[in-house]
Structure 1
Amino acid sequence: MKIGEIVKNSIKYPFSDWKKLLMFGIIVMMSSLNYIFESMGVLQSEGITLILLPISCLFGLIFGLFVYGYEIRIFKYSLAGFEELPNFNNGFDLFVDGIKVFVVSIGYILPLILIVVVGGLFLGLTAGIIGHNVVILLGILILVVIFYLIAIFPVFLMALANMAFYDDLGAAFEVHEIFKKISNIGWFNLVKLYIINIIICLVVSIIGALIVSIFDLISLKIIGALFIILIVVPYIEIYIYRSVALFYLSEDQGYLVCEKCGGYYQLQSGESPEDFSDTCECGGKLKFVQDLNDNSAEDTISEKQNFKDKLKSLLNNKWNLAFIGVLILVICLVGFTSTQKAVVTNSTLIGTYNVGDINPVNGTVITAIPSGTSKIRMEYNLSWTQPIAGNSGLTIEGYNVNVTNENLIYQDNSLIYYKVLSLDKNDKNKTGTLYLDGSSIKCLVISQAGVNGTIKIYSEKTA
């Protein structure tokens, strides 16, 4: 099956059974309750968040495994030749297959974790020696991570397909066999399918975003969120797994043809040109062809020469060169932008306060924020004491103008940030960090009731 046929079949496949598509959407929704809660606006209160967040995380873990399991079942049904979405029976098997996917994911992400850990340790140990070059090395590390993720994802999907085909967890880690399978089909074909899938997923996502924006305009944000979870996300996942399954089956074994005697041998399933010598019994040279009737499909048996020919063909096409150039430019820009955002050039302590000294007698603490501040960082260490009246807590107010104790009462319209850190009798040495928008806040006003401890306020300026 050619790439075009794979894509057409996979686009239609999710709609082969609307009921099963919606059923899968419900499972996806149960694994994404946190997204639903945020869309409904029910996570605004800290109390409700403390209750719903653990529940949504638990549901996300359990139903997430069922989602993974159903994706493997899509592989199995597609590899077996079925043209409709699989059933949802045997839930235990779905759960077990989901665990297998989780294990495989960890196995393929471990090298990335090692890269990040080793790279982070190297940067941390040498930061004082290499100075400003640490920014360049950080950018290189980010690019390595991005390239790894881009390169490993299609291989990871082929590994899952191999696991589903043999119904064996170990088959997902038979890297040599997986690479041989991809080589037989064609690495270039895998890249082509990968790029087409990215484009299709982007188009579907854009259509979904437009529909969601329409619901937002008519104050039906929750309907838009449900549309994304129930239709868009399941469609994309089903499409991807279907296309990879068909790609896995698209291997055309091809033929070894002798240039001298004209004899040929049809390769069997699991066989590769590399398994044979490059000479016929008559002494003639063997060549690999996909189709006996298509001379243009010929390729040398040498893997290196095969790669060189495809690379030469790729580079001779100006549109391919332009696409590769744009892709490299985008990746570099993403890495550079991420590096710039991650680097803080200056962090200045602008105030350290003993919270116990902030009282009705001494007045509130008013801290002016230096111009050019992009972010305000407040570190606190607080303990409960008996308040004179009411509840214990530290109040932080941010104003977009400079205020004083004398005119504070008249500045309600200038208040743009308000937060209360509440404490109870069991809170001792409660620590934490708050980050505020320094570009809009000109000064902070801090007051307290029944609180002891310290607070430190920093001004951060980024490049």
Structure 2
Amino acid sequence: MNLTDIFKDSLKYPISDMTKFSIFGIVMLLSALGSLSFGNAAIDGILVIISFVALIISLGYGIAITRSAIEKSDEIPDLNLETTIVDGLKMVVLSIVYYIIPTIIVIILAFATGLFDYVVEILGYLNQYGPEFANMIPDDLILSMMSSAAITMLVAFILMVIFSFLYYMGVCRLAKYNSLSAGADIPEAARDLKKVGIGRVIGWAVLLVILIFIFNLIGGFIGLIPYVGVLISGFLISTYISFMIYRSVGLLYADI
């Protein structure tokens, strides 16, 4: 399938079964409860636990959606709690495996470029003279910090993009082989990325970002509705975006 067909399918897919869409929508709403605070430690703690469990379920269901796409099935999968929670926990491990490497590299680079040292030195000036006397900080120190920060952020961005592409190949491998070891095999994920086509994956990512931006924009307007706007936006927009991401990457991978 070309990218146009992939996204046409992915945009229609979420609303092909509104019952299953609604069930997943409730899970997505529950996963957002952790962001609420009622000023009561017990209630807030319960909400965090509910949110965490729902997040695990949503990640696991993403694997089910991806697997369905790889198998070229048009049916939205049922939400099997046991399987979904297990797959969700695998997704957590998978995320750590793929993103720990670029994170470590960026931290090492920040030390190597002196970024942390510059920040500490600037904070020392602010503590000594106060924020209102920020002009006391030497210009060369500020420029050095900005240069180090720019280099670190640029490398961080490039690494995160590369490893995000690899991560989604890992997600597809986990869905296809139902194996965490297969999903976490970064060299094999890199080979799959090459098979899919780096250009196709970049095109997929660009189109996906544009669509997510548009849907989030719509969600922002819905969120302006008093009292229920945020809930409606979370239920509709977040759920729709999740379906679209996992469906589209599954279809992209299905061609290899």
State the TM-score bracket (shorter-chain normalisation): 0.7 to 0.9
Which structure is richer in relative contact order (CA contacts within 8 A, separation 6 or more)? Answer: 2
Q: Which residue of 1 aligns with 2:100?
A: 110
Task: Give the distance between the partners of 2:95 and 2:166, measured in 1 at CA.
Answer: 11
Secondary structure class of the residue paired with 2:223: helix
User: 2:18 is matched with which residue?
Assistant: 18
Cα-to-partner distance string for 1:174-195 (whole Å, 9 max, x where unaligned):
2332222222232111111110
Deviations 1:351-375 (Å, cap 9, x if unpaired)? xxxxxxxxxxxxxxxxxxxxxxxxx
The alignment status of 1:93 with 2:83, answered yes or no, reads yes
Deviations 1:64-120 (A, max 9, x none): 11111100011122222220211013x111111001000010011112321343234
Structure-2 separation of matches of 1:125 and 1:190:
34
CA contact (8 A) 2:115 2:145 kept: no
With over 3 angstroms needed to count, the CA separation of the structure-2 counterparts of 1:142 and 1:230, relative to structure 1, is same
Question: What letter matches 2:252 in structure 1?
Answer: F
Q: Pick from 188, 193, 202: which aligns with 1:182?
A: 193
Any gaps of 5 or more consecutive residues in structure 2? Answer: 122-139
CA displacement at 1:136 relative to structure 2: 1.2
Q: Is the 8 A contact 1:2 1:250 kept in 2?
A: no
Q: Which amino acid aligns with 1:84?
A: E
2:128 — aligned with what?
none
1:170 and 2:181 aligned = yes
8 Å Cα contact 1:31/1:64 also seen in 2? yes
Per-residue displacement from partner, 1:360-405 (whole Å, max 9, x unpaired)? xxxxxxxxxxxxxxxxxxxxxxxxxxxxxxxxxxxxxxxxxxxxxx
Corresponding residue of 1:274: none
Cα 1:199–1:119 shift into 2, 3 Å: same
Flag the 1:81–1:137 CA change in 2: closer, same or farther, 3 A: same
Identity of counterpart residues, as a percentage? 25
State which structure, 1 or 2, has the greater radius of gyration over its C-alpha atoms: 1
- Kept in 2, the 8 Å contact 1:212–1:224? The answer is yes
The answer to whether residue 139 in structure 2 is matched with residue 134 in structure 1 is no
Which one of the candidate residues 194, 205, 219 is aligned to 2:216? 205
Letter in 2 for 1:151: I
Instruction: Please identify runs of 4+ aligned residues in structure 1 that moved more than 3 A.
Output: 119-122, 124-128
Task: Give 1:15's aligned amino acid.
Answer: I
1:51 aligns with 2:56: no
Residues 142, 52 of structure 1: CA spacing in aligned structure 2 closer, same or farther, 3 A cutoff? farther
Offset at 1:163? 1.2
User: Of the candidates 75, 80, 84, which is equivalent to residue 75 of structure 2?
Assistant: 84
Contact 1:101/1:160 (8 A) holds in 2: yes
What secondary structure does 1:199 align onto?
A: helix
Q: Matched residues in 1 for 2:45 and 2:111: separation?
A: 33
Q: Which has the higher helix share?
A: 2
RMSD: 1.9
Question: Is this contact kept in 1: 2:71–2:254, CA < 8 A?
Answer: no
**Structure 1 residues 20, 134: closer, same or farther in 2, change over 3 A?**
same
- Residue 80 of structure 1 aligns with an amino acid whose one-letter code is E
Q: CA deviation at 1:124?
A: 6.3
Which secondary structure state, in structure 1, belongs to the residue aligned with residue 75 of structure 2?
coil
* Counterpart for residue 230 of structure 2: 225
TM-score normalised per structure 1: 0.48
TM-score, length-scaled by structure 2: 0.84
**Match of 2:245?**
240
Alignment of 1:385-424 (within 5 A): none
* Aligned with 1:195 (options 196, 206, 228): 206
2:166 aligned residue: 155
Q: Aligned equivalents of 1:58 and 1:198: distance in 2?
A: 30
